[in-house]
Amino acid sequence: MQKLSAYLMLRGRAFDADAPKCAGHPTLTADLELTHIIKAMARGDGVIRDACAAALLTPLQTREEIEFRHTVLRDAQANSDAVRRLYEIIADADKIRDDGWRAFSGTSDAKIYLHALDVLVAYLDSLAKLRIAANGDAARFKSDGMKNLYAMLLTELDDELFTEARRRINEMSAINTVLVSAELDDNLFGVNYTLRKKKSGTAWLQWRLAPIYSFDEDTSGMTFGKDDWESRRDRAFNDLAYVLAQAARYLDTFFAMLRRELAFYIGCLNLEDTLRAIGAPYCLPELRDAGRFDRSYRNLYDLSLTLVTGKPAVGNELDSADTKLYVVTGANQGGKSTFLRSVGQAQLMAQCGMPAAADGASFPLRGNVFTHFKREEDAGMRSGKLDEEMRRMDAIVENTAPHSMVLLNESFASTNEREGSEICRRITRGFTRNGVEVFSVSHLYAYASSFAGEDNTLFLRAQRLSDGTRTFRLERAEPLATAFGEELYHRIFGE
């Protein structure tokens, strides 16, 4: 077998789950509650968890890359039984590494030799299962990624490979009697210990060097002890044990590569199964070029909230053009933060080739996604809350570039209205003037109203019915000067 890769995640390139993630990824994971999504995709499988986390937090930057994953995902959706069957074979093979190699540590070369043979036999059985699966399912796939994977399996796992592998393993397994050749150096020490191969049709091994001394493991007639024999035997096994161990480790790498490349798509299938059971929609969104500033969502919802509650969250509609700033205002507990999370989740999911949590979606690519959400007070009082907010914002500014996206949630509300509004206004304007798209949830009326009447700005407000009921939907509306304090007072203290 040659050095192989499936190339299911990237055209012509291997997927590296350990590659550096996007700037600020720990904050992004916490603010957008991505752990719930990753957990639902993984279903307890650590390889799927790592692959999906890496994909989510390493956004693709071209529509061609995303469309490549979309075609593979559509193939996986249409043939989920075949894809899951393939993954199960690979995952079972991975257990060989966990179970078979654990016994190798600290053992002799002879034992490593025997263990490596056992591991190779087990891997050969897994390769045979892969070949059978590939023979039965290859014709069902249409995407370049899946066709290449199955073509690789059928080409490399041919009859000749299995015939030769079984012959070699059977030959190396027949060591009831061990024959070792050696030479004597000038000081009469044994050198060039060599494990000998049997001649066809004979009970002994082929001799190549002279003088040759052979011993079996019955040491009763020897003038040296058993420890001495084992040392000599291990010296003979050393090179061959190393070769076998390398072969087994190559197969480790081969199966790990296959599992890593498939894991993301299995995670997507797992998530879709969960959403289907809940009754929540999902779609493959349309991605537009990074230079555009138009968005369209139909029933966009917070996926993390849906997974936690086990029922579909309330969705929102949005259709905007040439908009760089979205200012979201309204009463508390109206769905503003939930909407903000849904926008960020959909952006990251779309840019890693996943479905989005919506009935339909169309929006531009973004180079980076950043979040600046309010935090609880620092219990240790190591710094003021405003200082902490400014430090986090400074890190965002350092990493933003044109066509990035920044999600602000109650930023700079830790100070008074006038100061907080002015800080947030200047930062927001700096972003939008440099081609950064901003979604900003805020209770700062002075801040929100300062953008009234400006081009490229859209105001959204959490819907509140006349009786105070929250629908958890957003509507296009200008910010209101009231914070509904009287309503809050009556809710707490009664009429």
Segment 229-244 shows an average pLDDT of 65
Model confidence at 248: pLDDT above 90? no
More confident residue, 171 or 8: 8
More confident residue, 246 or 33: 33
Segment 239-251 shows an average pLDDT of 78
Q: What is the pLDDT of residue 95?
A: 81
Model confidence at 119: pLDDT above 90? no
Model confidence at 120: pLDDT above 50? yes
Model confidence at 212: pLDDT above 90? no
Model confidence at 45: pLDDT above 70? yes
- What confidence category does residue 215 fall into, taking pLDDT thresholds of 50, 70 and 90? very low
Q: What is the pLDDT of residue 203?
A: 36
Q: What is the pLDDT of residue 271?
A: 98
Considering 13-27, 105-119, 160-174, the range whose residues carry the highest mean pLDDT is 13-27
Summarize pLDDT for 381-437 with one digit per residue, the tens.
466 789 999 999 999 999 999 999 999 999 998 889 999 999 999 999 999 999 999
What is the C-alpha to C-alpha distance for residues 241 and 114, in angstroms, rounded to an integer? Answer: 8
**Average pLDDT over the chain, rounded to whole?**
85
Summarize pLDDT for 298-335 with one digit per residue, the tens.
999 999 999 999 999 999 999 999 999 999 999 888 99
Summarize pLDDT for 179-194 with one digit per residue, the tens.
667 777 887 777 776 6
The CATH 3.40.50.300 portion of the chain extends over: 286-493
Q: What is the pLDDT of residue 378?
A: 59
Q: What is the pLDDT of residue 4?
A: 66
- What confidence category does residue 467 fall into, taking pLDDT thresholds of 50, 70 and 90? confident
Q: What is the pLDDT of residue 233?
A: 57
Summarize pLDDT for 349-387 with one digit per residue, the tens.
999 999 999 999 999 999 999 999 988 765 554 667 899
Model confidence at 6: pLDDT above 70? yes
- What confidence category does residue 146 fall into, taking pLDDT thresholds of 50, 70 and 90? very high
- The mean-pLDDT minimum among 139-143, 412-416, 422-426, 457-461 falls in 412-416
Model confidence at 178: pLDDT above 60? no
Q: What is the pLDDT of residue 79?
A: 97
- 3-state SS string for the chain: CCCCCCCCCECCECCCCCCCCCCCHHHHHHHCCHHHHHHHHHCCCHHHHHHHHHHHCCCCCCHHHHHHHHHHHHHHHHCHHHHHHHHHHHHHHHHHHHHHCHHHCCCCHHHHHHHHHHHHHHHHHHHHHHHHHHHHHHHHCCCHHHHHHHHHHHHHCCHHHHHHHHHHHHHHHCCCCCCEEEEECCCCCEEEEEECCECCCCCCECCCCCCCCCCCCCCCCCCCCHHHHHHHHHHHHHHHHHHHHHHHHHHHHHHHHHHHHHHHHHHHHHHHHHHHHHCCCCECCEEECCCCCCEEEEEECCHHHHHHHCCCCCCEEEEECCCCEEEEECCCCCCHHHHHHHHHHHHHHHHCCCCECCCEEEEECCCCEEEEECCCCCCCCCCCHHHHHHHHHHHHHHHCCCCCEEEEECCCCCCCHHHHHHHHHHHHHHHHHCCCEEEEECCCHHHHHCCCCCCCEEEEEEEECCCCCEEEEEEECCCCCCCCHHHHHHHHHCC
Segment 214-235 shows an average pLDDT of 49
Q: What is the pLDDT of residue 438?
A: 98
Segment 189-218 shows an average pLDDT of 47
Q: What is the pLDDT of residue 246?
A: 81
Q: What is the pLDDT of residue 214?
A: 39
Q: What is the pLDDT of residue 236?
A: 57
Q: What is the pLDDT of residue 383?
A: 62
Model confidence at 475: pLDDT above 50? yes
What is the C-alpha to C-alpha distance for residues 283 and 279, in angstroms, rounded to an integer? Answer: 13
- What confidence category does residue 223 fall into, taking pLDDT thresholds of 50, 70 and 90? very low
Q: What is the pLDDT of residue 112?
A: 73
CATH class for domain 286-493?
alpha beta
Summarize pLDDT for 252-299 with one digit per residue, the tens.
889 999 999 999 999 999 999 999 999 999 999 999 999 999 999 999
- The mean-pLDDT minimum among 11-20, 91-100, 153-162 falls in 91-100
Q: What is the pLDDT of residue 195?
A: 61
